[in-house]
Amino acid sequence: MNYRHAFHAGNHADVLKHLIISRIIALLARKEAPFVCLDSHAGLGLYDLKGDEASRTGEWQEGIARLWNADDLPASTDDYFDVLKAMNPDGELRYYPGSPELARQLTRDQDRVLLNEKHPQDGQLLKENMRGDRRVAVHLGEGWHVPRALLPVAEKRALLLIDPPFEQSDELDRCITALNESISRMRQTIVAIWYPIKDERQLKRFYQGLSKSTAPKLLRAELFVHSPDDATRLTGSGLVIANAPWGLEDELKELLPWLAKSLAQSEGNWRLDWLIAE
């Protein structure tokens, strides 16, 4: 396993993923009842954008750096930027939260965060970064086993993020399997699956499989920073969200056009639709 997310931390795909996850957590928190955030491929949890890996690629310069001093931030970005500002109190952008840190900071005392990371070095760093928070548990196992190992949860409300490295050719298929397993074990689970967009033709089978999944409803949200017809590079990324909470679609109708305008590198665009309507 060679993938290290530190090379890509804070890029346009991270921004999309983390903004949507922050909004799902905020919508869940509108009810007092506790919930659990689960992350199957969690990474380090915290990233130094001036560190060796992030400096080598500089991908964050075309992602979060573009938004750091923006004066037209939508209200739906407040929670996300509150976390970022707390991590960078001097106003200089250096530290970036992975999804584990975002979940840790945005959840409440009654909520829990269950994290899994297979990479041995990253898993130990994740444990160190999450140390001291009794609400957080870190597992060092196979991410694809998370649905059957950790669901259902006693809290009856759960958000599961599935964000694999996509090093293997079958990982899109495994995402669908994990979605079906999650829904079968706890039907009301909110399952968010992140995926890269390099060649939309290659994603056609993935979309078809998702539309035939057991999810009660499935929302697709995609952000393009290049033309989707350009198959030579990462043109964008997307999340499909099973059991998307009420209010998320309306928020994304505002957020996605703004992101497409703010993060476009050659040609910005976005898509929001239901693969499975309620």
- How confident is the model over 235-263, as a mean pLDDT? 98
10-24, pLDDT tens digit by residue? 999 999 999 999 999
- Using CA atoms, how far residue 268 sits from 9, 147, 259, 265, in Å, is 20, 34, 8, 7
**CA distance from start to end of the chain:** 38
Residue 190: beta bridge partners?
Answer: 159
Catalytic residues: 163
Is the predicted pLDDT of residue 7 greater than 80, yes or no?
A: no
Using CA atoms, how far apart are residues 153 and 162, in angstroms rounded to an integer?
A: 17
Tell me the pLDDT band of 2, cut-offs 50, 70 and 90. Answer: very low
Binding-site residue numbers are 18, 41, 99, 117, 142-143, 163
Alpha-helical segments (H) within 88-193: 99-106, 120-130, 146-150, 171-185
182-201, pLDDT tens digit by residue? 999 999 999 999 999 997 77
Mean pLDDT, the chain, whole residue set: 94
pLDDT of residue 235: 94
Any idea which of 2-6, 205-209, 272-276 has the lowest mean pLDDT?
A: 2-6
Listed by start position, the domains of the chain span 5-276
Tell me the pLDDT band of 128, cut-offs 50, 70 and 90. Answer: very high
Using CA atoms, how far apart are residues 174 and 275, in angstroms rounded to an integer?
A: 18
5-276: what fold?
Answer: Rossmann fold (3.40.50)
Nearest to 43 by CA among 96, 108, 92, 110: 96
Is the predicted pLDDT of residue 31 greater than 70, yes or no?
A: yes
Count CB-CB contacts under 10 A for residue 100.
26
Binding-site residue numbers for S-adenosyl-L-methionine are 18, 41, 99, 117, 142-143, 163
